[in-house]
């Protein structure tokens, strides 16, 4: 009887441990996604959104993008990281923005912004 009780308690502890590990994993993912959105995607999205139809960015806006990229670029997925890195490096050598390149970057950040918000909402809903 005692052995059956111990087996039952052990099984309950195992189930609770699995649930806690899953919850912690979900919470870490949510924190990472929120950090990505808050620290780099949302601010750069806003900078790009404020640019005029020719994607003119003030020197301050470009400097902000560079600083965010240096500090938080590791939060980005590989494709977005590479596109932003290329734009920032290329801009040092150019006087004018390439419209197609900037339009593509804006669309990519818009897509990433929407995806991150949806993922965070989905993680908050699943408890």
Question: How sure is the predictor about 29, in pLDDT bands with cuts at 50, 70 and 90?
Answer: very high
Count of alpha carbons within 13 angstroms of residue 107, beta-carbon side: 6
Could you read off the pLDDT of 41-62 as tens digits, one per residue? 999 998 888 776 555 666 777 7
Q: Apex CA 75: angle with CA 69 and CA 108, to 5°?
A: 75
Asked if pLDDT for residue 115 goes beyond 90, the answer is yes
pLDDT at 34 (0 to 100): 94
pLDDT at 4 (0 to 100): 81
Which residues are CB-neighbours of 85 under 8 A, at least 6 positions away?
A: 69, 73
Phi, psi of 76 (to 5 degrees): -80, 155
Sign for the CA dihedral angle at 68, 74, 76, 80 comes to positive
Asked if pLDDT for residue 35 goes beyond 90, the answer is yes
pTM: 0.76
Please compute the mean of the pLDDT values over residues 13-36 and round it to a whole number: 92
- Can you give the residue ranges of every domain in the chain? 27-125
Please compute the mean of the pLDDT values over residues 90-115 and round it to a whole number: 79
Chain mean pLDDT for the chain? 84
Question: How sure is the predictor about 11, in pLDDT bands with cuts at 50, 70 and 90?
Answer: confident
């Amino acid at each position: 009887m005692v052995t059956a009780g111990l087996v039952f308690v052990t099984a309950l502890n195992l189930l609770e441990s699995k649930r806690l590990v899953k919850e912690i994993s979900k919470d870490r993912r949510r924190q990472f996604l929120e950090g990505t959105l808050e620290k780099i995607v949302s601010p750069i999205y806003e900078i790009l959104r404020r640019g005029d139809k020719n994607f003119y960015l003030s020197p301050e806006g470009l400097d902000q993008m560079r600083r965010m990229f240096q500090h938080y670029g590791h939060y980005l997925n590989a494709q977005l990281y590479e596109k932003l890195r290329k734009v920032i490096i290329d801009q040092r050598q150019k006087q004018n923005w390439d419209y197609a390149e900037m339009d593509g970057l804006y669309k990519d950040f818009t897509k990433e912004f929407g995806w991150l918000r949806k993922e965070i909402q989905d993680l908050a809903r699943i408890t």
